[in-house]
Amino acid sequence: MSKTILITGGAGFIGSWLADQLLADGHHVRALDLLTPQVHGAEGVRPPYLYDDVELVHGDVRDPEAVRKALQGVDGVYHLAASVGVGQSMYEIAGYTSINNLGTAVLLEALVERPVERLVVASSMSIYGEGMYADGEGNRVPGTRRGREQLRRGEWELRDERGAELVPVATAEDKQPDLSSVYALSKYDQERLCLMIGEAYGIPTTAMRFFNVYGPRQALSNPYTGVLAIFAARLLNGNPPSIFEDGRQRRDFVSVHDVARACRLAYDTPAAAGAVINVGSGHSFTIVELARRLGEAAGRRIEPEINGKYRVGDIRHCVADISLAERLIGYRPEVDIDRGLEELVGWLDTASAVDRVVEASAELHRRGLTL
């Protein structure tokens, strides 16, 4: 049955791919988007990749009138609107808190007055802080923050009380959050607000904790976006990827197509109401390995620069345990890393980017946010 679905942030990277899938299923899609310059360019115009069938409402999720207008006649909502990026959030504190926290509160106040059948909110793996680990005896233990003195010495790995190196293992949804950045705090606030208000007002709500999402349509000129997009911007400009620490930190990279499909599955699964669900690939790669593989896929064998610095708010290892997503909503990743990188590289042939990595790194350094 055809429905009218609102996607906040629907003109962005993940939102536009979700819109594509919803349109293919026969739904009417409305996107509320501010068309932020850092993501969409100074012109603030409708992105060419957004299908004409998507009804675009140019507005701010913090504006009650814009939100009420966007909700008219809507059956369900995907709340994806947010400022993203750990580093930038540590100095644009008011901006991130306003867009992510206040914007969510404004949306929820409107939904209290006009409930919908379903709400799916985008959360983030960043709320975990460090992922889960196994100690020398095979016990699962939560990772704890590394001290500044340890980081200044370039001792990157987590160790147990006896000095043995901990081994990263998959992180499930029951891990206690450790909010090590303003961004992480704001995403946790988004998910908890949505689940709380959803339960109170009878709006079935699901929070999706995205891991490192990549694919075409990423904002390549935004130096605070996903790491693969940053590497791609460097490669397009003939520059080597710049990597913090020693490059051996591990992350879970998941295709935007799989993320969009997981969002649809969560919406369509009544049992997912009230749940928090990881959305990842279930596999991890080191950052330096991904940089090299991206360069090889693009036919540009540029050796990454390992800068040996630490960025405040970063964690060492985190990979998704996706067993709950498999069991609850039937999610299984379909795009492996080789296929995903091939698609990303194919898109890069038609893309351009301004490399702002050096500028962004200098700003973090000036503010004392790199060690």
Q: Which of 96, 128, 183, 310 is catalytic?
A: 183
Taking residues 10-33, report their average pLDDT: 98
Cα angle, residue 144 at apex, residues 143 and 149 outer, rounded to 5°:
130
Longest CA pairwise span in the chain (Å) = 60
Residue 357 has pLDDT above 80, yes or no: no
Query: What is residue 108's predicted lDDT score, i.e. its pLDDT?
Result: 98
Q: Give per-residue pLDDT as tens, 59-72.
A: 999 999 999 999 99
- Out of 23-32, 86-95, 172-181, 224-233, least confident range: 224-233
Contacts for 42 with CB less than 8 Å, ≥ 6 apart: none
Report the percent of the chain where pLDDT is more than 70.
100
Q: Does pLDDT of 239 surpass 90?
A: no
- The verdict on whether 224 is a catalytic residue reads no
pLDDT at 232: 84
Q: Residue 300 has what DSSP assignment?
A: -
Burial of residue 91 (CB within 10 Å: 0-12, 13-18, 19+) is middle
Can you give the pLDDT at residue 202?
Answer: 98
Kindly report, residue by residue over 150-180, the tens digit of the pLDDT. 999 999 999 998 889 999 999 999 999 999 9
Smallest CA-to-CA distance from 276 within 203, 200, 198, 173 is with 173
- pLDDT for res 369: 84
Q: Could you report the per-residue pLDDT of 242-275, keeping only the tens digit for each? A: 899 999 999 999 999 999 999 999 999 999 999 9
- Chain-centre distance for alpha carbon 108: 21
21 falls in which pLDDT band (50, 70, 90)? very high
Q: What is the mean pLDDT of the chain?
A: 94
Mean pLDDT confidence for 90-97? 96
CA distance 109 to 265: 26
* pLDDT value of position 349: 85
pLDDT per position as a tens digit, 98-147? 999 999 999 999 999 999 999 999 999 999 999 999 998 889 999 999 99
Residues 6+ apart with CB under 8 A from 102: 62
The CA angle 18-291-354, to the nearest 5 degrees, is 70
Neighbours of 24 (CB within 10 A): 9
Residue 232 contacts residue 369 (beta carbons within 8 Å):
no
pLDDT per residue as tens digits for the range 175-223: 999 999 999 999 999 999 999 999 999 999 999 999 999 999 998 878 7
Coil, helix or strand at residue 262: helix
Go through the domains of the chain in sequence order and give each one's CATH number.
Answer: 4-366 (3.40.50.720)
| Per-residue model confidence (pLDDT) at position 283 | 96
* Mean pLDDT (whole number) for 9-18: 98
For residue 353, the model assigns a pLDDT of 74
pTM, two decimals, is 0.96
